[in-house]
Amino acid sequence: MIPTWAQLVYLGCAVGFILALKGLSGPRTARVGNLVGAGAAVVAVATPFFYLDLDHLPLILAAIAVGSLVGVLGAQRVQMTQMPQLVALFNGVGGGAAALVALLELEHMGSFTTDFDVVATAFTIVVGSVSFAGSVVTFAKLQELMTSRPVVPPGLPVAFVAGLLATVVLTVLVVREPAVSTGVVLAAVGLVLGVLLVLPVGGADVPIVISLLNAFTGLTVAAGGYVLGNVVLLVAGTLVGASGTFLTLLMARAMGRSVANILFGALRGGSTLGAGEASDRPVRSAGPEDVAILLGYAERVIIVPGYGLAVAQAQHTLRELVDVLLARGARVDYAIHPVAGRMPGHMNVLLAEAQVPYDQLVEMDDINGEFKQTDVVLVVGANDVVNPAAKTTPGAPIYGMPILDVDEARQVVFLKRSMRPGFAGIENELLFDPRTTLLFGDAKDSLAKVLSAVKSL
């Protein structure tokens, strides 16, 4: 039994998690919110050492030390472009840990255990395994350790349905007679289901699945908290599950897709297809000096940042360019698409790293009406979020996705490495529009040359 004082400490930690989530809702309070959440987590982890007679204490402390070391090194070395992959790994580790704890709990379940407790344990095992395996596959896709295209092996739908039926049967067996051996088989089925769930997802849909798996991990932690009678796990898991679910739905809405279409669209050819071949169609290109003239004499400029900006680590150079344009009297804003980069908030954090004032970041719905009065739109490393095919081409993978209405501006400048399409794997007709100018090269290098040319005007 957990003593009363420890339950009160756990309750305080749960309140800390809620306050942390509230703090993360705004840029001014995000840092404090993050510290509050981290502090609550440390207290929650440390509390059992004061009321439990722990076996294998050296192994526990060694595991904590290794985990802390990996966390510190990861925080220092992981680039902003790799944050989605890091989130995927965190999801997987959380789900896998919850599944392992549930497996161990099966050993201690006897005749006094209610069926609901056993069902919750089985749920934690299978969903935690799904989250772990699925997160590993999403990591491999984003890290380009495997193709980002949808992978649909022959018989995948049949195998997936068979896995679901096997999960139901094994859950019934676990409830009737809790046994670790049956739980291990259930976990193995969950691992297979996790792989089959994510393999058909490709391109820009992968981050949405990461968010969904995050929700799965939260639910497993909440279920584990119920079984263990631990309020901090119950509350923390519920928060993660709820926020992950909302984020998944919001991302799907931003893509103009349903969650079912994202998960299973490739089975009928409707999912995003991943990177395609470079186009050889003629386009209008220019040098840095020409782009500098367009920007230097424009009164209204909108910047559209994308994943290419993050890859090139060009946010600091871009901010310097914007500062120069502002000094010349131009009105400049950053147009932020909900899924710009690879996850919501990715561009906001990247630009905040370059000390870009937060009031210069304008969300899609608030800025779309201004493109018609914009002299120049500078698109840095974005593609699908400005592709008019989302509005004009039924049947396109991104059709129906809300986009930034860049095609309505007077002039558009694209900074691109090549003519390869975005994650959706389709051409962007805006690149071939007479109003569009392309500047090829690394975004950081190109922006530095444009910046130098603008200063010399």
Enzyme catalytic residues: 384
Residue the block writes with tokens 């090269």? 441
Residue the block writes with tokens 């802390």? 68
CA dihedral 219, 224, 227, 231 (to 10 degrees): -80
**Closest among 268, 266, 254 to 150, alpha carbons compared:** 266
Using CA atoms, how far apart are residues 174 and 182, in angstroms rounded to an integer? 6
DSSP track, 391-428: HH-TTSTTTT-----GGGSSEEEEEESSS---TT-S--
271-to-146, 274, 278, 359, 393 alpha-carbon distances in Å: 17, 9, 20, 35, 15
Residue 128, token pair as written in the block:
């935690």
Number of helices and strands in the chain (H, E): 17, 6
- Distance from the Cα of residue 329 to its chain's centroid: 37
Residue the block writes with tokens 């294998």? 56
Instruction: Count Cβ atoms below 10 Å from residue 245 Cβ, excluding itself.
Output: 18
Using CA atoms, how far apart are residues 13 and 92, in angstroms rounded to an integer? 23
Upper half-sphere CA count for residue 22 (Cβ side, 13 Å):
7
**Closest among 443, 392, 437 to 413, alpha carbons compared:** 437
DSSP track, 297-314: T-SEEEEEE-HHHHHHT-
116 neighbors 209 (Cβ within 8 angstroms): no
